[in-house]
Amino acid sequence: MTAAAGFQSLTFERLSESEQINRSRTFLAQIRTRRTVRDFSPEPVPFELIENAIAAAATAPSGANQQPWTFVLVSDADVKQRIRAAAEAEEKLSYEQRMSQEWLDALAPLGTDWHKPHLELAPYLIVVFRQAYSEHTDPNTGETARIKHYYTEESVGIAVGILLAALHLSGLATLTHTPSPMKFLTEILNRPVNERPYLVIPVGYPAEDAQVPIITKKSLDEVLVHVGSST
């Protein structure tokens, strides 16, 4: 599969310090403008933007380089409609019966509820699956062996981070949607049992009147603990 075929010298572009600072500041400024969007326009999106973002995500580091991800790209209106209907059925139960008051209170500032029109409106849904393990069939004996995968949660999380950054830098809006339970995605998208639904990401342009909650991110002081001196 993906075993290293030995070693080769690293290709690494050493930048001048001023170029490093420039790139670092530019990226920070760009990524700071990312928002989770729930109001989408049905306007189509250039396909290459989606393909390139998924290709970028697929460069992520992963446990034993096993690349335990599958990105199912849905643009078919009928399939999007089925995903919306199934997600709303689960979410309605969650919001009305399964989620604790503490959870509902924590979510209240985001203004979410069980209605998920974006699952139909956004031109693309990227449904991310995590491969808990894989299978290899010996071409000679026909025997199938199960291959253990390592750190799949971390690996897919990193890939999704790159995916969201790539889509944002391409001028697109995304939503990280976690319907629960997500088993309906396996059924609708006909995925094998080793693939576990991880996240649904509607992608597109924001609606013209898109609203987002007024929220803040923690300051650097709150998230960065430095052991050592910063010189």
Rg (CA), the chain: 20
- By C-beta, is 62 or 119 nearer to ligand IYR? 119
- By C-beta, is 24 or 178 nearer to ligand IYR? 178
- Candidates 131-139, 149-157, 175-183, 187-195 — which segment interacts with ligand IYR by CB under 6 A? 175-183
CB of 113 to ligand IYR, least distance (A): 7
**In this chain, which of 177, 182, 195, 205 binds ligand IYR, going by CB under 6 A?**
177
Does residue 59 bind ligand IYR (CB under 6 A)?
A: no
Burial of 133 (0-12, 13-18, 19+ CB in 10 A): middle
Burial of 112 (0-12, 13-18, 19+ CB in 10 A): middle
CB of 3 to ligand IYR, least distance (A): 38
- Candidates 68-76, 171-179, 187-195, 222-230 — which segment interacts with ligand IYR by CB under 6 A? 171-179
Beta-carbon neighbour count of residue 169 at 10 Å? 16
Residue with the shortest CB distance to ligand IYR: 112
For residue 23, what is the enclosing H or E element?
Answer: helix 17-31
Is residue 191 within 8 Å of 185, Cβ to Cβ? yes
Does residue 179 bind ligand IYR (CB under 6 A)?
A: yes
- ∠ at Cα 84 (159, 44), nearest 5°? 65
Q: Which two tokens stand for residue 120?
A: 């139909």
Q: Which two tokens stand for residue 183?
A: 């088993």
**In this chain, which of 20, 59, 180, 211 binds ligand IYR, going by CB under 6 A?**
180
Does residue 178 bind ligand IYR (CB under 6 A)?
A: yes
Helix, strand and coil percent figures for the chain, each rounded to 5: 40, 15, 40
Does residue 91 bind ligand IYR (CB under 6 A)?
A: yes
- By C-beta, is 82 or 118 nearer to ligand IYR? 118
Does residue 22 bind ligand IYR (CB under 6 A)?
A: no
Does residue 81 bind ligand IYR (CB under 6 A)?
A: no
The b/e string for 59-78 (b: 16+ C-beta within 10 A; e otherwise) is ebebeeebbbbbbbebeeee
Residues 96-115 close enough to bind ligand IYR by CB under 6 A: 107, 110, 112
CB of 20 to ligand IYR, least distance (A): 34
What is the contact surface with ligand IYR in residues (CB under 6 A)?
91, 107, 110, 112, 177-180
